[in-house]
Structure 1
């Protein structure tokens, strides 16, 4: 995670949005590969405002010729806009409407957001709410602490499940069979044996921390310049996670763990209780 100064426009990140559906599955006749590939193209715009066909191909793992046909089709259908001057594409607002409609139906964000705002303001750190997206956790809400230097994340940004505090918190909130399945997929995609061992140890440590305190911490682990904590949030609407973090040189570790972490745990408890009361 890189840092940005308030007011700067971030450049597109290399988001590792490699397709897991780019190979045809002849054994599943109900699976529509063309549709899956079109959705992969839309997913490539996770934190980028403009992408060319080459960048989309790199992010999805799809052939450039395939990407060209898909972006043309998605533009004709109104899901992408084509910037003639830059020869690049951006999402059309109607695509965002799908996501916001789903978030509105969940209700989690409405309950959590004012509490997240208060914690972000009091701590000066960024507070986020995320949901699993394959092997990542994706921000569906984000409040920064109002500082000049902030974490470079926005709604739609993704963090890795296995190495970030929020990702590990979400993993640890899942049923054990599902967690083990996802951890296996994460390890299958990591070629370095030492890195695989580090991921497993980190997830185990996070599970132990959450069992004892309700939260887990990642201080300079995923990125050396970032410190954060994560809390699982399992509700009738699904599994989520909360996090709080910032540039490591700005984070008072003692206050983060002793003062702000319990407040993040309390936010999760409040959301769970409210949703339990709202839903039959």
Structure 2
């Protein structure tokens, strides 16, 4: 994170590095990481612990973090609730999408998620699960890989060309060694979305997970979004997703394309 922020700051004179670092601290928290020590945050952000200490102190004073004296750790403060509520409240497409996405989840016996881009990740803004006893451990607020997940690949497939180019540049800068493999997967995903209506990720994000994804433009000034349908490979496989879930998912997403601009 630190190297990426430094690179962007060097290219953009309007970029506020201190603000970016503060936001990167908040982004460290999530499912399974509800409380963190300064050392945990420093390792995640790639920042010196002394810098992280000043950032967490400032964010605590502003209410974005809460300090836990008994453990010396931090968790998200109440000020973040207002931000998340305002952001999710503006995504009225969630309520419109729920009946269709829930039906896909039940028919496919899989997890179906609605997501938006969050930097070089995808962020779940809604999630539905089928009746399977074993499901993906993901829920609203979870983050997954942009480059390796079906949801992320579907987003890349439908986003504007200029945005896609910037995503490629950022991914290459973040990990030059992994970039050729990531680029091949993303280029294949763009072609898949155009040719078969969805992107695939069969063991690419997690070895034991099969998923497909479809991207769309909700309209109304909202950002591009994408929907995935997936499950552990012990529950479903690539063939089932492609033959049974894919037509249902494509039909559901088509009903959402431009819905907020109608």
Q: Same fold by TM (over 0.5)?
A: yes
Quote the Cα distance in structure 2 between the aligned partners of 1:178 and 1:27.
Answer: 17
CA contact (8 A) 1:18 1:59 kept: no
> When the two structures are superposed, what TM-score results if normalisation uses the length of structure 2?
0.89
Residue 150 of structure 1: how far off its partner (Å): 2.0
CA contact (8 A) 1:46 1:157 kept: yes
Gaps of 5+ in 2: none
Structure 1 stretches of at least 4 aligned residues deviating more than 6 Å after TM superposition: none
> When the two structures are superposed, what TM-score results if normalisation uses the length of structure 1?
0.84
Match of 2:169 in 1: 184
Q: Identify if the C-alpha distance between structure 1 residues 100 and 113 changes in structure 2 by more than 3 Å, giving closer, same or farther.
A: farther
Give the alignment partner of residue 33 of structure 1, picking from 17, 34, 46. Answer: 17
Gaps of 5+ in 1: 1-16
CA contact (8 A) 1:18 1:61 kept: yes
Match of 1:103 in 2: 88
Is 2:123 the counterpart of 1:143? no
Pairing 1:24-103 to 2, within 5 Å after superposition: 25=9, 30-47=14-31, 48-103=33-88
Pairing 1:1-280 to 2, within 5 Å after superposition: 20-21=4-5, 25=9, 30-47=14-31, 48-192=33-177, 195-236=178-219, 237-277=222-262
Residue 49 of structure 1: how far off its partner (Å): 0.9
CA contact (8 A) 1:131 1:140 kept: yes
CA contact (8 A) 1:142 1:155 kept: yes
CA RMSD of aligned residues (A): 2.2
CA contact (8 A) 1:127 1:243 kept: yes
Q: Which deviates the most, 165-174 or 78-87?
A: 78-87
Quote the Cα distance in structure 2 between the aligned partners of 1:239 and 1:248.
Answer: 28
Q: How many residues align?
A: 259
Residue 53 of structure 1: how far off its partner (Å): 0.7
Q: Counterpart of 2:4 in 1: which secondary structure?
A: coil
Q: Counterpart of 1:143 in 2: which secondary structure?
A: strand
Residue 64 of structure 1: how far off its partner (Å): 0.8
Quote the Cα distance in structure 1 between the aligned partners of 2:157 and 2:173.
Answer: 19
Quote the Cα distance in structure 1 between the aligned partners of 2:49 and 2:82.
Answer: 28
Q: Counterpart of 2:85 in 1: which secondary structure?
A: helix
